[in-house]
Each structure stands twice: as structure tokens, then as C-alpha cells.
Structure 1
């Protein structure tokens, strides 16, 4: 469902993603102090990850999981506990951020400044520049209307590639057939496509958040650091004032008339159901998260979730 607005050319930064705007965010990120990442950092641009291998420092043992190298079984702990355990070893390596971007049709909606899809792209671009400046590789996986993957790349080259992919995917979205993907299915797919990532940032309006998503998210959190940015329009966050609201969906224009308080509250709760579900998922799993409207400076939210700021909101 799209808010009605005067037509604009592609890449206007309101209804469609502007590649120039995404690239320009690099300068803004370059002026802020990059906080230390919430990880076991050992030196500039390096983070610790748990890997198997000889000649590395032992980190810990955990219950055996399908796919673990049987040569790394911890036989002493297995004998004591009666359950198979695997040894984990610690090796310093370059950090890697994977961005999970929601591209469902519900993201192409907005009543203030820009569509949620455009704000989501701005958030993803800021995160890419932020990670690049911190010395991390960065990649992005789209789910929903677009099913695509950009494998992680290092430095400014990686961030530029992310910006290009975001603009391309946005331009293609309206020409693609309708497609939906539950968040739980997207998380399963992401788990197979992390390509060495040690952090995952989910950007979504939450409408794809289903009953199985919480378990999938908790499973993902066992292996990587996580953060969530919940994108919401003003009408999804607060009670709309009485009035007539012109809307557009699938090329058809409608007018919603909202007068009574109950009617307006029901409308707001229906629109805000997705962001409420995703916010609850983040809170219940102890995930760092921010709710972001379509007018907010994306860098503020990205810094709060990816940096070292305390708190979850």
C-alpha cells in the first residue's frame, strides 16, 4: 500500500532510492567517531571469531551440532556429560557485517518525507559505510519482493557495492512479480549464506515477522552478533489525526476516512502491527535495536545499534 504522491523521476530519494544520496552518506559517516564494536576486538580492524583448527588457542567446548568437524570432539567432556561436545578454537580475523534487508511491498509506503523502502536503503548504506570505516567486510542479502545476495567485500569497495545493489534492487522491485517470504524462512536462508560474517543487521518493518522467527533469530544469535532496525511510518507509530487519507495500492487509489478515536486507533494498530511484532522479538531476545521513522537521521540509529552505545533503544 503506497501513499499517494506526485510522480517523481527514478532515484528521487522519496519514492525511489537515490544512489547519489547513498554514496554521499560516506562523508557523513566519515565525520563521526566510530565507537568500538561490541565484540572481542584485538586490534584495529580485527575481531575474534571462533573457528576450528590446529595451532590456535582453545576457546571453549559446546554441545555437538550437525556439521561440526568430528576431529574436534572434546572426548573428556563427552565422557563426563554423556553428550557429544566439540572444541572451539579462537583465531583473530577481519570482522564482517551481513545486512538483511526487507524488500516486501509493505516497505513501499510512506506519509512523511520518504517511503520506508528508501529509508531502509539509507540505513543499510550508513551501516555499510560504518562497517567499512571500522575495517570490516560488508555484504547484503535482500528478502521478500527481491531475493538477492551481495557477498561481503572489504573497505570502501564493499560499501560502494552495497550502495549499488540497494539502488538496483529498488529500481527493479516494482517490475517484479509479487513475492513474499516469512522472516523465519529468510533467517534460515541467511544462516546458510553468512560467508564468515560475525555480525548481522536486520532492517525491516516487521510485517514478515512470523511465529517461528523468534526461534530462528535465537539460533542465529548463537553464532553471530545481531542488531535490528525497525522501520516505521508516522501513521504506524502514533494515532493519526481525524481526516481523509488518500492511499494507493496496486495502481488503484483509495480514500480512507478516519474520524472517531476508536476508528483511528484501530487503523493505527493495524498499520503498526508489524513494527510491534519485530520490536517485541528484539526485546525478548536481548537484541540491540532501534525504531526508525522515515524522517530520522539514519546515522543516529545505525551508530546506536552497531556502535558501543548502551541500552537497546
Structure 2
């Protein structure tokens, strides 16, 4: 398609020729001749094929703070050399592109752009006939999620800038950025076990590697369990009693009814959703590494579920599942929609990640506790969170809301639901220890 430069050249040439003919001035015709000859010479060879444009992104296991790389390839299938190709790529604001340049060109790659997101000006390069040029995009992934890279657009200028092509577009490439797993470890025993064999020390006697004591030999005891030193000293057969090793099922319940705070990326402030996703990934990684079964639920209108399983495949599936977590407010009570019949095992440890902002979240915790399940609530509300709008009564209202929230947490603890703030490693140790003791304590039976 013609550019403004071609329009100006044709207009100037035409005006000079018309003025020369009407006024009878040869000098004006002579003056128009170079413009006419130059325009005709530039248009002697015009490109007939559109540029080929491809966008690629490295599909690697990328976590927050990692290096993201992409490539925009511009090809010239025509027999005419492109004078100039202008390329620009849309990038997610959570992908900070720091360096843009030609592949293999250190001088071009050294052009850093400190601003976050898309480079603020397009990149221009000349492409010879039948050649391809690769444009590298390198930067940092600032936040978890499926971050879009693209589309990329390229526009070709030829015939000394007199002609330009229509923009060639590519599709969008999704860059999967997994949440960074904060250090987490829980050394306490699980409150309840769902299987007979696993990696957790049980408080019940059985086959295992943890010594529970020495007792008198009885029917059914194995001969290899006989403690000969004690037997010779007591002149009666004694066996070494052990505690059984049992596995557990952990259900991570993500409260997605409300969002509080503003996300600042991997090195900035964390919102409720950031804390929820990162802590869920850390807790799941810990228990899956120990051989337990982990499942996930969303407490929201979508009610997404991830079936319980164990192993590395479950961990990778879980990370993919977390990439699609979104806050979805709902005017309805999603309890019956989320917790269908026989969905939660009675022996599962239910870890609820919630900011306790919506009153329905506290009601859900109380109902789970009344159903007899072991529930632990992890408070994901950021410290120092404040309302986005300020007014004369904002501070007073926020303090009253904080007091009401503390009363709700106290009522939950009275109902047997421990509430602990997420603090990385060891966040749940004390809570799991107390819950395990309560679960193993003898129950009173009415007569």
C-alpha cells in the first residue's frame, strides 16, 4: 500500500508539471523531472509477498523470578530486499522484557530497557531477499500464572519508503510461570491416617520402624521381633513393639471468594491470592515428597477440584492446576456446591487457605469442624492491609472490622478450628501437634 511519502512525491511532481504547462515555464518542468525519475526508479521493483512472521517462547519449567526468553522471526520470501521491517510485540505486564536485540549480536542485546512490560518503541531491522532475522526478547517473569506473550506485528517498508505492507500478525503464546514455593516443613505426626502403610509415624502399634517399647511375647508376634537380651534377663520371651507407619490424605481448600491487597510480583508485596497459591504449592510439595496423597478444592462458584493422588506427576499436575486459580466473587453460598456427597474423606487433613474476609468462609470452617473432620485454617491476609480508599472515618471503620475479625477467629478456635498465619517453614507444626494429640485422646462414651 502507498505511504505518505509516495503521495507527496506524486503531488509535488504533478503540481510542478501542471504549473509549467499553464505558465509556459520550462524551468518548472525541468524541476519536476528529478522527482518523477526518482519515484519511477524507486518503484521499478516492488515486493509481491507479505513477510513471514513467527513468535516462539521457550516452554521450560519457569518459576517466578526466572529468565523468560522468546524469539520473533521475520522472514522475507520475496526476491526483493525489504528496506525496513518494524516489529513490535505485546507482552504481559508481569513479563519484564529487559533486553531486545538480534540473535547472536551482543551489541544489540546489550540495549536494556528498565521499564516493565513491552519495550516502549518498536524494533527496526532490514531483511534481505530469502533471509530470516531472529529478534530475541529476554526478561524476568515477575508473577505466577499463564502470562501472554504476543501477538507480534511486523510492517515492511520497501521502494525507499514509498510502499508499506499491511501489518502481519502472529498468535499469542502463553508462558507458564509457576509459583515459587516458600520453604515449608511439618515434622509433627498427622492427626489421622487413611491407609496402613506410609511415611508418617503413627501413635498406634503396628509394623513400622519407630520403637514403642518392649512387651511380653503373645500369639501372632513374629520371631524376628524377639528381644533376646530382655528375654534372657526376665526368663520370659519379650518382643520389641513398634509404631505403625501410615500415610495420610491432605486436602488443600483454597478460598477464592475475595481478594485483598495488591500484587507486586515475586520481589514485591503479596496479595491474598499470591499467598494462597504460593503456600498451597509449598504445602503440597512437602506432603507429596513424603508419599502422601494430596487433593485440591476451590471454595467459590467454579468449585474446581483436583483428585487425590501422590507422586511427582501429581505435583506437576497440581502446579498446572494452580495457574488457573482466580478470585471469583459470588452472591450465593457455595458450600453445598463445593462439598458434594462423599467428596471429602473422614480421615483427611483439611487445610483451608483463607483470608477470613467473607463471612461465608467462617461459616464453612465451622460446618467442616462440626462434621467431625480435622480442619486447620491458614490465615492468608497480608499484614498491614488497609482499605484502598481513604476518608475521615476509614481508619476507625478498619479498626472495628479488625476487631470483628479477631472475634470471628476466637469463635472458630472455640469450635475446634485452629487458625494460624502463614509464616513459611514450621507454620503448622504446633497446630498439627495439638490436633494430633486431640485426635488420639480417648473419647468419653455415655452410658
Q: Which residue of 1 aligns with 2:156?
A: none
For the Cα contact (< 8 Å) 1:47–1:93, is it kept in 2? yes
Q: TM-score, normalized by length of structure 1?
A: 0.57
Q: How big is the shift at 1:108?
A: 4.6
- Residue 412 (structure 2) pairs with residue 256 (structure 1): no
- Residue 427 (structure 2) pairs with residue 301 (structure 1): yes
Q: How big is the shift at 1:152?
A: 0.8
Q: Which residue of 2 aligns with 1:270?
A: 401
Aligned mates of 2:431, 2:177 — CA distance in 1: 24
Label 1:147 to 1:216 Cα distance change in 2 as closer, same or farther (>3 A).
same
- Residue 347 (structure 2) pairs with residue 189 (structure 1): no
What is the count of residue pairs matched by the alignment? 227
Aligned mates of 2:270, 2:146 — CA distance in 1: 8
Q: Which residue of 1 aligns with 2:304?
A: 148
Label 1:192 to 1:96 Cα distance change in 2 as closer, same or farther (>3 A).
same
Q: Within 5 A, what are the aligned runs for 1:54-65?
A: none
For the Cα contact (< 8 Å) 1:228–1:288, is it kept in 2? yes
Q: Which residue of 1 aligns with 2:369?
A: 218
Unpaired runs of 5+ in structure 1? 1-6, 49-90, 248-254
For the Cα contact (< 8 Å) 2:365–2:417, is it kept in 1? no
Q: How big is the shift at 1:46?
A: 5.6
Specify which structure has the higher proportion of helix: 1
Specify which of 382, 385, 408 is matched with residue 233 of structure 1: 382
Q: Within 5 A, what are the aligned runs for 1:1-313?
A: 8-9=93-94, 12-13=142-143, 19-22=177-180, 24-25=181-182, 28-29=183-184, 32=185, 34-39=187-192, 44-45=198-199, 94-104=247-257, 106-110=258-262, 113-144=269-300, 146-170=302-326, 173=327, 178-182=329-333, 184-185=335-336, 189=339, 192-194=342-344, 198-210=348-360, 212-213=363-364, 216-220=367-371, 222=372, 224-236=373-385, 247=388, 255-257=389-391, 263-270=394-401, 273=404, 275-276=405-406, 278-292=408-422, 297-306=423-432
Q: How big is the shift at 1:229?
A: 0.6
Aligned mates of 2:293, 2:315 — CA distance in 1: 8
Q: Which residue of 1 aligns with 2:154?
A: none
For the Cα contact (< 8 Å) 1:183–1:209, is it kept in 2? no
Please, what is the CA RMSD of the aligned residues?
4.1
Aligned mates of 1:128, 1:216 — CA distance in 2: 24
Q: How big is the shift at 1:309?
A: 9.0
Unpaired runs of 5+ in structure 2? 1-91, 96-140, 148-175, 203-243, 439-447
Q: Of the two, which has the highest radius of gyration?
A: 2
Higher relative contact order (CA 8 A, sep 6+): 1
1:234 is paired with a residue whose SS is coil
Label 1:147 to 1:309 Cα distance change in 2 as closer, same or farther (>3 A).
closer
